[in-house]
Structure 1
Amino acid sequence: MLQEEGRSIYLESQGWQTWINITRAHGGAAKLNDNSPLGSTLRPGKHLPHAFQGSPWRQDVQSSLSSRKCPVSVDGATKLWTVFMQRVEPIMKISFEWTLERLQSALVDSNLWENLSLGEHALALSSCFFGVVTLSDNECARDFSESKSSLLSQYRQHCEDSFARIIMLAIDDILTLKALCVYTKASIDVVTNQSLWSLMGLISRSAELLGIHRDGELMGLSPIETEDRRRLWWQVQHLDLILAIKNGVTPLTFTADWDAKLPLNIDDCDITLSSKTTPKERTGLTGISYTLFTYWMIDQQRNFRQKRLNQRSPVDRSLLGPLTTMMVDDLEAGLQTNFLQYCDPIKPLDLLLQISARAVVCVLRLRGMHEMRLVSDQLDNKFHDKYFSMCMQALGYTITTYSQPMLRPFHWLAETSFGWHAFIALLLDMPQLRDSNKIKAAWTLLDDLYAMVAFLTDFSEDKRRLSAADLLIVTWNVCERKPELGSMRKPAFVAKLEDDISRFRDKLNMAEEVIGVSGSIKPTESEFTENQPGTGDLLNFNFADIDWSYWDTVNLGLPNYSAEHA
């Protein structure tokens, strides 16, 4: 690490460096613009421009730079900052308390705001944007007298305007990277996963250029700077993994090399800006424990996969593949030892950690079984029964999260991590079951799911929800003719779901008539027989024929179960 004009520069190579001190070259007389390549910490020896003028946003940067006023009202900033601190910060702890207090003060004080850096502006506005993301429609109407979609649009624009003022292709400060992490996580299921995946490339490369992937202790940095960089790097890896899964690509998180250690299990009060020695880690849970739990899971999987990197078979379908049963068992034991044994279920964050940890273990086991189903059609009934039970268990964790009043502030997290794979697999497997008790239990669980998870019937926000509801209706019409069920009555939620689907499609048809848009809408399917499209396809459907990546994609049309996802 080199110091130049108060900024740290990371250089891995010991060869000839091409950076020069431009201020010294100009005799100290030149006042350089931060948005000029010459004003960047990583300024080149040659006076060259940045690609795309330094920003992928093709806006009038000079116009946006003309005003440094905070674009958010004091009242709005105060409300959203409170929401962010209650709902997001405890589970995404990447900034210390003093940084957050400084940003909070600046949001309500114009003089303080004008003295913030561009990266701090972006971090403050991204935090407000994340606050909006966590609000329900009713909360937006009650507290802001606006729809959630309107607020999302406004605050996302504020964020992107703040980023437009920064040279995004030559980021040279940690605060801007933190702002991008907050913006990226807030934007999951708000903007396209593909665009966020591309943005992650920019974040990762920028972090590497600043040496965030190298541990600060090895470079002689102070304890506070070391810890700050660790928190940021592991959040980058966490987001990279999430978006790799969302986009159906291989995450490099588990195979790339770095030596940044996990953040310490400490509270912010255990370390200060003037600390000379690294504080001792606490036993039990701290303010960073939930965030640390997500990083710990990544670290454990990474260690396992790096050991197996050279043991892959030439016929492996995946670059990574599922974890072994023994590895998942070890993960579960490690979670108990490091986190779960200290959880107090009367504390909201502790309860959320308990549910999240169990759910992650369940999903990891389910993924291994899922992979086996895709490659083999010779599995016995015992395996299928276990797989079906695991799907029910995964959805059960979602129901538990929504049924606990103290976890209401974290419903946004449960929505973005909803187990679509388990849900769809449950619906597809149910017609094949012969155990009437298990079928009835599944319908009871689905009843609870739709009763607790309101967003599943908001078809306008996510096309997966309407597609899944269609499949659920088809599944019921198949199941009700099974002799094993006898005279089981149609669940009330199924009848209601049919009505909801019908009304939604009626609205779509009316909207088409009003605006004169050509094209066909999938007709309402209120009743099914063996000869009607949909039911027969479901009965003959092969589990491996599904394009499972569909259930991680928001922007696809309604599925045709007979061919579209084969």
Structure 2
Amino acid sequence: MFDSPDGFPFVVGGQFGSVTDQHPSAIQIFQLWQIYLDNVNPLLKLTHTPTLQVRIIEAGANLDKVSRSLEALMFSIYLMAITSIDEAECQATFNESRNTLLAKYYYSAQQALLNAGFMRNPDITLVQAYLLYLLGSRQYTDPRTMFCLTGIGVRLAQRIGLHRDGAQFNLSPFEVEERRRLWWTLAGFDRRIGELSGSIITAISNGGNCKLPLNINDADLHLHAKDPPPPHTGATEMIFSLARLEFAKAPGNDKMKGQSSETNPHAIASVADYRLSGYLERFSTHMEDTYLRYCDPKVPLHYMTLLMTRSNICKLKIVSGFFRVALTAPTPLPAVEREDLFIEAIKTIEYDSMMQARENLKGFLWYTQMHFPFPAYICLLADLRHRTTGDLCERAWATICENADLRKMTAHMRSPMHLSFSPLFVRAWDAREAAEAALGRTIAPPRLITHMRQVAARLPKAAKKQTPAPTPSPKIPVISGSYVASAQTPPEQQQAIPGALPLYSESDVFSNLQHIDMNRQFATAFPDVNLPGEMDWNYLMQEYSGFIAHPPQMNAYANQAPLQDPTQAAAAWQ
């Protein structure tokens, strides 16, 4: 999928190269800053708007004198601003193609980071710039490469102590909040890329006591204030960001760890642990009570918070259900559990469609590119081989077709994973057609299925050409064969919801974990979801999706080849 030879930060040049002439005009600097404030800042809240705006205005008036760290941050802001708009808006605002501007600011951000010596200098502004650069380049980069690049960011952050809460070092309230916002945004992104690349080692698996940012507005935080502002109860500018950061602490491969004891000598843990179901219910209640109850659906940021949060909770339930299915195979889950899992999958895709369809969320859709509802699709398409009639079947197919249209799934399907995904749709629809025929009825296939049939017909030849060479499979820690399917939390383990919602002890993540090859388990549990070619369930379960099928060539800073427009190429799979 990814054959870009771009070697940043090791090959780009390693020497200073002025990028002053790459800045846009003063008017366009302000336009890009405003787009960033409208589309990117509300979701990330990585920077403090009043303070940074003054610095950018001053820099724009005298670009020859701008500090190298601020210049790197400015180019990363330009890159994220262009990433968040489509071709039409780019042409209307800047009279240039989106591809051209993406390439320009992509390479300029790289060179500006190198100019500032970002890997040597302990500067929070440079870490902010580097993280925004990673977010802007994510869709053009192999997740395994991106995971290494995020690792650089984590090391930079740890070197200046961002994983330690600044309040204990008597730092100013402004700096404490700036550090918290940066650390948790970096940690959350690193964890997401860790999911995509199949890693259990992330920023949050190696300790730290940094607290989540306060629930405040930027206007509450002053550069020279001596005391921290009191946090609000209810919705603030931070509502989406805080809800997003809560999931950085939620269960996952890098947190599913147990402490060895006489009764649990191997310290075996898994997302399928019986404690997880109870945890997810408590976590869901915590999110509803702390954030979602204060959301006004008429406010775009609030509506995005509602949908994204509920979608992510559904995703956690689906993935935990996948492991329950796999670890109890060949014995099927009880019918009630299967139906609950199916409904969660439908809801996940429905939430995604609601985000894609809402016009006033258009500027936020860049964020959904990292969150294609792949687990929900696998869940539905596996079950629809057998659930061929009834209300839930109808609702599932209506949901799939609507989402496919909104994400333009039929536009570009070229990568090995995308091609291998198509037969799942075809097999599920064929089963439905057969069931309807047995009842004396005929149904016309939707446009999505017609397209998928065409893709599937070409698959064997395409798979041989495009499937990458197999790589060693990451291993996923699981519980032992004595796993009990019951999802009930024992009464003695019920607890009130603390702020951080701890689930497992903070013992060494490397200690005594038992592993099992999930390829074999899933082949047993999901016989109808055997993807052709050399597809790897270990990677698929980590949601190896959402990337540009054929990224542009990114050779050197001087060769500013236009980036491929992700809204035109493989938009459906972003």
What is the TM-score when the length of structure 2 is the normalising length?
0.74
| CA distance in structure 2 between the aligned counterparts of 1:212 and 1:256, rounded to whole angstroms | 13
Whether 1:552 and 2:504 are equivalent positions in the alignment is no
- Please give the per-residue CA displacement for 1:330-364, whole angstroms capped at 9, x wherever unaligned: 11111122111111111000111111111111111
Code of the residue aligned with 1:209 in structure 2: it is R
| CA distance in structure 2 between the aligned counterparts of 1:462 and 1:406, rounded to whole angstroms | 31
| CA distance in structure 2 between the aligned counterparts of 1:486 and 1:135, rounded to whole angstroms | 49
- Asked if the contact 1:463/1:555 (under 8 Å) is kept, the reply is no
| CA distance in structure 1 between the aligned counterparts of 2:203 and 2:275, rounded to whole angstroms | 15
Q: Which has the higher contact order (CA 8 A, sep 6+)?
A: 2
Code of the residue aligned with 1:345 in structure 2: it is P
Whether 1:215 and 2:183 are equivalent positions in the alignment is no
Code of the residue aligned with 2:424 in structure 1: it is L
Structure 1 partner of 2:361? 407
For the residue of structure 1 that corresponds to 2:434, the secondary structure is coil
Code of the residue aligned with 1:341 in structure 2: it is R
Change (3 A) 1:214 1:324: same
Change (3 A) 1:460 1:171: farther
Whether 1:365 and 2:352 are equivalent positions in the alignment is no
For the residue of structure 2 that corresponds to 1:154, the secondary structure is helix
Code of the residue aligned with 2:116 in structure 1: it is I
Structure 2 partner of 1:168? 118
| CA distance in structure 1 between the aligned counterparts of 2:420 and 2:172, rounded to whole angstroms | 53
- Asked if the contact 2:173/2:228 (under 8 Å) is kept, the reply is yes
Structure 2 partner of 1:206? 156
Offset of residue 365 of structure 1: 0.9
Structure 2 partner of 1:236? 186
Q: How does 1:31-50 map to 2 (within 5 A)?
A: none
Q: How does 1:337-348 map to 2 (within 5 A)?
A: 337-348=289-300
Aligned residues between the structures: 473
| CA distance in structure 2 between the aligned counterparts of 1:335 and 1:105, rounded to whole angstroms | 38
- Asked if the contact 1:323/1:368 (under 8 Å) is kept, the reply is no
- Asked if the contact 2:429/2:449 (under 8 Å) is kept, the reply is no
Change (3 A) 1:500 1:171: farther
Structure 2 partner of 1:314? 266
Change (3 A) 1:99 1:271: closer
Structure 1 partner of 2:285? 333
Structure 1 partner of 2:411? 458
Offset of residue 478 of structure 1: 3.3
- Asked if the contact 1:212/1:233 (under 8 Å) is kept, the reply is yes
Change (3 A) 1:389 1:120: same
The farther-off stretch of 217-226 and 312-321 is 312-321
Change (3 A) 1:144 1:354: same
Structure 2 partner of 1:541? 528
Aligned with 1:155 (options 93, 105, 108): 105
What is the TM-score when the length of structure 1 is the normalising length?
0.75
Structure 1 partner of 2:506? none
Structure 2 partner of 1:38? none
- Please give the per-residue CA displacement for 1:349-405, whole angstroms capped at 9, x wherever unaligned: 011111111111111111110111122221233333322222111111111112222
Offset of residue 192 of structure 1: 1.8
| CA distance in structure 2 between the aligned counterparts of 1:123 and 1:289, rounded to whole angstroms | 24
Code of the residue aligned with 1:58 in structure 2: it is V
- Please give the per-residue CA displacement for 1:382-439, whole angstroms capped at 9, x wherever unaligned: 3333222221111111111122222121122223211112113322221122543332
- Say which structure is richer in helix: 1
Code of the residue aligned with 2:172 in structure 1: it is S
Code of the residue aligned with 2:101 in structure 1: it is L
| CA distance in structure 2 between the aligned counterparts of 1:314 and 1:307, rounded to whole angstroms | 11
| CA distance in structure 2 between the aligned counterparts of 1:149 and 1:310, rounded to whole angstroms | 53
Structure 2 stretches of 5 or more lacking a match? 1-7, 468-524, 551-574
For the residue of structure 2 that corresponds to 1:258, the secondary structure is coil
Whether 1:395 and 2:349 are equivalent positions in the alignment is yes
Whether 1:296 and 2:251 are equivalent positions in the alignment is no
Identity %: 21
| CA distance in structure 2 between the aligned counterparts of 1:447 and 1:259, rounded to whole angstroms | 44
Offset of residue 103 of structure 1: 4.7
Q: How does 1:97-116 map to 2 (within 5 A)?
A: 97-106=49-58, 108-109=60-61, 111=62, 113-116=63-66
| CA distance in structure 2 between the aligned counterparts of 1:494 and 1:147, rounded to whole angstroms | 30
Code of the residue aligned with 2:317 in structure 1: it is R
Structure 2 partner of 1:25? none
The alignment's C-alpha RMSD in Å is 3.5
Offset of residue 90 of structure 1: 0.4
| CA distance in structure 2 between the aligned counterparts of 1:359 and 1:409, rounded to whole angstroms | 19
Q: How does 1:55-94 map to 2 (within 5 A)?
A: 56-65=9-18, 68-74=20-26, 76-94=28-46
Change (3 A) 1:313 1:367: farther
Aligned with 1:180 (options 105, 130, 133): 130
